[in-house]
Chains A and B, each alone.
Chain A
């Protein structure tokens, strides 16, 4: 069974097949892209990284907020492309998806709008696979590339099914980021870490996106698991919502991903300045 699954993982170009023994040489087997280079150089300087999420098209001023997130000190911005059925998202991002769709957002409008702004940091698109399939994998990868998107996170596209998208993403210079969860067995985590590009998305807690009262114990465990099998950057997301939680996660991880806490502030009308202030508080916490 394990062998079957390994065979169905996407084969990578040069070298075509990596055995698990090759894992620690895997990074030299391809040219790291913008995101991975960026995150690795920050790590080499002893700095932690902050990735912030914003739902594309969720408000009229979303591009202003995007820039405010950058000014607040984010190192990467994850831009959500709204989908009708966001399976891994909790109530806040579900509501933001609905708002964006009701306002007429489509993959094309989000990508077109974003291509008009200078974010100042690398961008990652987060969306669900059906939108890529319907838009055409090749066309969507090229559209992302034109919009100066550097990476993709497609949570409902596990490694076994990701071959077709990765071929297109690789061809367009899009780094496809994969997830490792608390329940992922270590052998599987190793193969995921071989396949991921940009960084490893460490799912901090078993659950949907959303704010939690405290950082789950599983967050540290999943980071430890990931770091035992790869030297690619490990960022913790899902359930990281306060400066204290971000700092806690960064005591083990290379960085954090904060989503719902930002999106909620946008929905509550914090505006660009309020969001910038919050992002700065996250920045300060992980830098201190």
Chain B
């Protein structure tokens, strides 16, 4: 079954798996077993849903974009993950993993972060559950997202800048994994996307599937029982897209993931192994992993979740790209047409829809876009870009 349980091997076609050093195998297996049992346990589900509604603000609304729709010629509905607590969809996964870590008796969370949204969400969950929290963040990203660093510290987390490699998200994942090798008996690695070794791609998708489940039902209410023609989400590792697609996989909607042009693992990558998974990767001729580069720290990842590579290979979802320039335009467009400042990551999805309306997307279509996060964190960076520093 597409987007079902990948089984004990964690395979999505030829993708996925568990490519970790032996010291981490026991931790991955323990996590898989704990997740399987928790996910099948009604009590765990009830606890999780209670926190998501009472604390994280779910369900998030579905917003009809009247002015933007008129402007571009397709009907645009936004799933408002920007309105979830901490300002992005990341909280859905983090609450799930923190509750699971608590159930497993782990007292410490480590996380990687790119734009800082997952780091902030993890720091938040750690505060909520009374856990210790260490967040690894590429040194370059700590500069780009200075405010989020402060936010994490304010929440009681320790932010460790990562100085190795490209000093971005990829290297933060390496450092978090290295931390976990030495600490896995007491620490849970709260991975932020649908990537890494099994069970992460599956578990994170399951925790994010609430985005797709809610928005499908909200669309059906609004569209008199019908599903949208197109479902679009931005993709770095791909967690908001995976959660969204999971809700629409059994419908006839066209599924589109939008990658940053400078980090397009599906368009420009090749199959390979990084961070514990087999997936598509940006790499050179000899297999060295290349650095992704884009305007948004959250999409600067040379890989992509293995299930996305699988959906692409099946043709069930398509993966497109948006460049920095059009993303900035989309950022302004949504702000000025709808009064919503999107995260730069989410602006990639808006950029693709506004570019392709009337081309790939026929005029008059209904398009559901997951707005994965809000843009407050990006305002200072965008100000510099628009005003020339």
- Chain A residues with CB under 8 Å of chain B are 1, 4-5, 8, 83-88, 90-91, 94, 98, 101, 106-108, 128-135, 155-158, 160-161, 178-185, 188, 192, 203, 205-208
A-B contact count (CB 8 A): 126
Q: Which of B26, B33, B289 contacts A1 (CB 8 A)?
A: B33
Assess whether B19 is in contact with A129, with CB atoms less than 8 Å apart: yes
Assess whether B272 is in contact with A130, with CB atoms less than 8 Å apart: yes
Contacts of B250 in A (CB 8 A): none
Assess whether B273 is in contact with A129, with CB atoms less than 8 Å apart: yes
Assess whether A134 is in contact with B286, with CB atoms less than 8 Å apart: yes
Contacts of B8 in A (CB 8 A): 1, 4-5, 8
Assess whether B19 is in contact with A158, with CB atoms less than 8 Å apart: yes
The 8 A-B residue pairs with the shortest CB-CB distance in the complex, in nearest-first order: A134-B287, A207-B182, A183-B26, A179-B22, A181-B23, A84-B288, A131-B287, A155-B21
Query: Interface readout for B17-39 with A: 1 if CB under 8 Å, 0 if not?
Result: 11111110111000001000000
Contacts of A135 in B (CB 8 A): 286-287
Query: Interface readout for B283-325 with A: 1 if CB under 8 Å, 0 if not?
Result: 1011111000000000000000000000000000000000000
With CB as the reference atom, state the residue of chain B lying closest to A105: B286
Q: Is B165 an interface residue (CB 8 A)?
A: yes
Extra contacts besides A134-B272, A158-B19 (11): CB < 8 Å? A5-B8, A85-B170, A85-B289, A87-B276, A107-B286, A161-B18, A183-B26, A183-B27, A183-B185, A206-B182, A208-B181
Q: Is B53 an interface residue (CB 8 A)?
A: no
B20, B25, B170: most-surrounded residue (chain A CB, <10 A): B25
Residues of chain B at interface, number, CB under 8 A: 39
Q: Is B109 an interface residue (CB 8 A)?
A: no
Query: Measured between C-beta atoms, what is the minimum distance from A236 to chain B in Å?
Result: 14
Can you spell out 21 A-B residue pairs with CB atoms less than 8 angstroms apart? Answer: A85-B171, A85-B289, A88-B23, A91-B164, A107-B286, A108-B286, A130-B272, A131-B286, A134-B270, A158-B18, A158-B21, A160-B17, A161-B18, A179-B21, A183-B27, A185-B26, A188-B25, A205-B182, A206-B23, A206-B185, A208-B181
Q: Is B71 an interface residue (CB 8 A)?
A: no
Q: How far is the CA of A185 from the CA of B33 in the complex (A)?
A: 15
Contacts of B285 in A (CB 8 A): 134
Query: Interface readout for B260-276 with A: 1 if CB under 8 Å, 0 if not?
Result: 00000000001111111
Assess whether B287 is in contact with A133, with CB atoms less than 8 Å apart: yes
Q: Which of B23, B185, B289 contacts A84 (CB 8 A)?
A: B289
Assess whether B181 is in contact with A206, with CB atoms less than 8 Å apart: yes
Q: Which of B9, B23, B26, B283 contacts A134 (CB 8 A)?
A: B283
Q: Is B343 an interface residue (CB 8 A)?
A: no
Q: How far is the CA of A83 from the CA of B181 in the complex (A)?
A: 19
Contacts of B165 in A (CB 8 A): 84-85, 98
